[in-house]
Amino acid sequence: MSEKMYFYAMITKDIILNYLFRAAEEFNTMQEEDEQLELRADEVLFSRAGFTQAGKLDSMGLVNFLVTLDELLDREEETVGLHFDISEVLEQKETALKDMNALADFIVSKNSKK
């Protein structure tokens, strides 16, 4: 098993959450204060019917956040090649974008199937 494959096999939700928080930090530098994401696992990302809490991001903000995350994952040596497809996330936004937790779960599940 190569070193990289070993990493994907070992990828955990905590690791992905850590990347989500880093992406959020980067994303926040360009946001107004009231539109910044909190670095919490239960931070709601997107407002949708059926979600109990309102999210901070509108559809444009959501794409911006996902693009920031995508670039971060591409940039980091240990996550280059990690499967992350923005359009796939958006297709399943009802589940994948409920909050940071849900997004981390989604990414882990996509990569554990590799």
Partner 1 sequence: MSLEAPRILLLSDTNTANATALLRKKIKGSVIQEIPYNQIPVLLIQEDHTIWSNHYDLLIWWCREEAIKGFTINELSFFFERISGKADFSLWVGFGMGSQNPVDQFELKQLHRLYELNALLVTHCMANPVQRFYVPEDFLTEKNKTAKHSADLWYLTKTLWHKTVYERLAEVTCVIIHQLKGGAVKLVVSDLDDTLWGGIVGDDGWEHLALGGHNAIGEAFSDVQEILLNWKSRGVLLAVVSKNEEQTALEAIKKHPEMKIKEQDLVGWKINWKDKAENIAALAKELNIGLQHILFLDDNPAERERVRLALPEVYVPDLPSNKLEVPYFLKQLSQLPLLNRISEEDKQRAELYRQEQARKQDCALHGSMEDWIRSLEMKITFRPLTTDNLMRATQLLNKTNQMNLRTRRMGEQELLRWAQEKGNEFYTVSVEDKFGSAGLTGLLGMRKESESLILEDFVLSCRVMGRQVEACMITFAIKTAAKQGLKKIIAELIPTAKNNPCKELFNRLCDDCNELTFTWEVGDKHSYPEGIKIVEEPC
The residues that touch partner 1, with contacts defined as CB under 8 A, are 30-32, 59-60, 63-64, 66-68, 70-71, 86-87, 90
Neighbour-count burial for 57-96, b at 16+ CB within 10 Å, e otherwise: beeebbeebbebbbebbeeeeebeebebeeeebeeebeeb
Shortest Cβ distance from residue 97 to partner 1 (Å)?
A: 13
Shortest Cβ distance from residue 14 to partner 1 (Å)?
A: 26
Shortest Cβ distance from residue 36 to partner 1 (Å)?
A: 11
Q: Is the dihedral of CA 4, 7, 13, 17 positive or negative?
A: negative
Q: Which is nearer to partner 1, 13 or 110 (CB)?
A: 110
Q: Which is nearer to partner 1, 14 or 88 (CB)?
A: 88
